[in-house]
Structure 1
Amino acid sequence: MSLSVQIGLLLAVGTAFGSVLGFLYKQRGAAESPAVEITKPIRSTIGLFRSRWYLLGIAIALGSWGLHVAALALAPISLVQAVIAGGLVLLTVTADRLFGYRVTRREWIGVGLAALGLAFLAATLEGGGSEAYSSYEVGRLASWTIALSVLATGVALAARNGPHAGVMLGASAGLWWAASDTSIKALSDQLGDGVVGVLIDPLALIIFLASFVGLLVSARSLQIGKPVPVIAVTSVAANVMTIASGPIVFAEPLPEGTADVVLRILAFCLVIGAAALIPAPRSADKAPGAHPTGPGPSVSGTG
């Protein structure tokens, strides 16, 4: 494994913790803010940014995002996401110990299995530690990004008035961010064009739009859903699709042996099963003790 890839993976570790911490602070801020209306993005954004907790979460998330961008520029996208996915286990510990949320056994198990499955899913890629794999075909990237955007929109529309609206909106946000992350990886191949060249590249606009829409959808999901399930499913959706972009968009090598292929399929099934396990049944969502017991703003909504 090259030194640059090792540095990229080290940055991914920082990304993982920053992402979890930023998510939890954003949840506190979103819970005390006016309801997000996707059709009124400017007003909704202003309402969110009036919360000091949300501002703190955004600041931490921006730092994490910067580390993520650097990691994607140095290492294969699947390996970066594998490290970040493994960091998902930090969610339950941080939510329980630092934020005082009551994390159920179902959530502990579901998040742990999801992190394990994601790590195995990415680890089955072969030869990924020798280079960054940033080259791509424009048509393939465009098709992948459009597909993710359409899927994210469909999931968000299906979430309306559903029994797990918060979790489904979280999945939608994760899909938007997967589109953004894939575009960031593609844009990292243009770093030789300089800052101006990167900023005027069409991919920069796609990154901004996908990130912004994902931010609003995520804020709404955090307002109406329980923190741990929503954040976990958001992370799973983002990681699965971003890992998949490695071989699909950037031609990262796939395993050739039958055993590796079977392991990859089993890992994917484990991730999907774990994601389905994390949200509690509707009746359990309404049970007492779903709110945080620690200091700070209370959680609004039960999703």
Structure 2
Amino acid sequence: MIFYLSIAIVASVLMALGLLMMKSRSAHLPMAAGANVIRAIVIWICDPMWIGGLGVQTAGWALYVIAVSRAPVSMVAVMMQGGIALFVIASVVILGERANRREWVGIGAIVLGMLMLTLSIQAGETEGAFEPGTLLIFSALLMVAGLAPMAVARLNASGAAAAILSGVAFGLGALFTKAMTEEFTASAAASLALRIVSNPYVYGLIVANIVGIVLLQNSFHSARGIIAMPLSGALSNIVPIAGGMIAFGERLPADPVAGAMRVGAFALTIAAGALLAGSRAQSSEDRIVARAAAES
């Protein structure tokens, strides 16, 4: 299992690098909104740096699929959180982004939550039975919760609402990926082509990841990467950890201390997300600095 968790770490690095490449082009690319969605996405795809970032992201996702096919989704999600810290550091060093005291507290709390989750991992954690009906209900409830911030004008203006919903979408994509591998294993006797076209989770993960990418890129236009990525990344990892326990029979660690750390990490991540969600959109000065860094 350690081998597959190591693959998850490499996947998280590739995904963070891909997002950094995509964020570096946010000042030069249009938002995908309203009637402009298709045209904006075509412009994104035609941008060499952006499409290169998407390619790196795809390579990371492929490694994620390999990891999650052999290890519990909640444990893989913990390993994936290293990409959040890496992206924040790169945004500060490469893109020249800055954060105020409140925002650093929120970012630090998310990193601390990641550490607590990592320390809560225990060797020999196992999975239970997969429950498709439970996953469907869990997904529907999460979508409602993820859409709620879109109704708040301030969160829309700051880019936080799009970042939150993108995290929910990516998290659901992770759960659908795990469900896809479960179905593939159960129908091993059928041909690969048949297993792909007849598996509903294949379409679910494709839609979820496309929606997540579009929403996160949109959030990059209004929010600094050090705000948007931790918000989206924390949720994209918390969702599969919670979903792994609810729909895949994964359980909290038997050790009371490890169990308390994992629950505490959930609460800390949610509180940190609330802090970051209250951040304002990046100032015009921040945008100028980020644009100059991207062009240099």
Query: What is the TM-score with the length of structure 2 in the denominator?
Result: 0.86
Q: What is the distance in 2 between the residues matched to 1:173 and 1:21? A: 17
Q: What is the distance in 1 between the residues matched to 2:56 and 2:220? A: 17
Q: Which moved more, 1:63-72 or 1:106-115?
A: 106-115
1:81 paired to 2:81? no
1:142 paired to 2:136? yes
1:195 paired to 2:192? yes
Q: 2:114: which partner in 1?
A: 118
> Which amino acid letter does the alignment assign opposite residue 261 of structure 2?
L
The answer to whether the 8 Å contact 2:110/2:268 transfers is: yes
Q: CA RMSD, aligned part only?
A: 2.7
Q: What is the distance in 2 between the residues matched to 1:112 and 1:254? A: 24
The answer to whether the 8 Å contact 2:88/2:225 transfers is: no
Q: What is the distance in 1 between the residues matched to 2:32 and 2:81? A: 28
Question: For the structure 1 residues 159 and 118, does the alpha-carbon distance in structure 2 shift closer, same or farther, using more than 3 Å as the test?
Answer: farther
Give 1:75 shift: 1.0
Q: What is the distance in 2 between the residues matched to 1:141 and 1:96? A: 37
> Which amino acid letter does the alignment assign opposite residue 175 of structure 1?
V
Higher helix proportion (structure 1 or 2): 2
For residues 88-117 of structure 1, what are the alpha-carbon distances to aligned partners after superposition, in whole Å with 9 as ceiling and x for unaligned? 221222122233334556545432321221
Question: Superposed, which structure 2 residues align to 1:233-244 within 5 Å?
Answer: 233-244=231-242
Q: Which moved more, 1:54-63 or 1:189-198?
A: 189-198
Give 1:31 shift: 2.5
Q: 1:301: which partner in 2?
A: none
For residues 90-145 of structure 1, what are the alpha-carbon distances to aligned partners after superposition, in whole Å with 9 as ceiling and x for unaligned? 12221222333345565454323212213424653656x455x3841111111122
Q: What is the distance in 1 between the residues matched to 2:154 and 2:84? A: 28
> Which amino acid letter does the alignment assign opposite residue 192 of structure 2?
V
Q: What is the distance in 2 between the residues matched to 1:208 and 1:281? A: 30
Question: Structure 2: any 5+ residue segments left out of the alignment?
Answer: none
1:15 paired to 2:8? no
The answer to whether the 8 Å contact 2:27/2:291 transfers is: no
Aligned to 2:253, what secondary structure does the other structure show? coil
1:263 paired to 2:261? yes
Question: Superposed, which structure 2 residues align to 1:59-70 within 5 Å?
Answer: 59-70=55-66
Q: What is the distance in 1 between the residues matched to 2:112 and 2:260? A: 16
For residues 132-172 of structure 1, what are the alpha-carbon distances to aligned partners after superposition, in whole Å with 9 as ceiling and x for unaligned? x38411111111222222222333x2254547531221011
1:153 aligns with one of 144, 147, 162: 147
Q: What is the distance in 2 between the residues matched to 1:228 and 1:198? A: 39
Q: What is the distance in 2 between the residues matched to 1:202 and 1:63? A: 22
Q: What is the distance in 1 between the residues matched to 2:16 and 2:34? A: 24
How many equivalent residue pairs?
290
> Which amino acid letter does the alignment assign opposite residue 177 of structure 1?
F
The percentage of aligned residue pairs carrying the same residue is 23
Aligned to 2:226, what secondary structure does the other structure show? helix
Question: For the structure 1 residues 77 and 110, does the alpha-carbon distance in structure 2 shift closer, same or farther, using more than 3 Å as the test?
Answer: same
> Which amino acid letter does the alignment assign opposite residue 198 of structure 1?
R
The answer to whether the 8 Å contact 1:102/1:293 transfers is: no
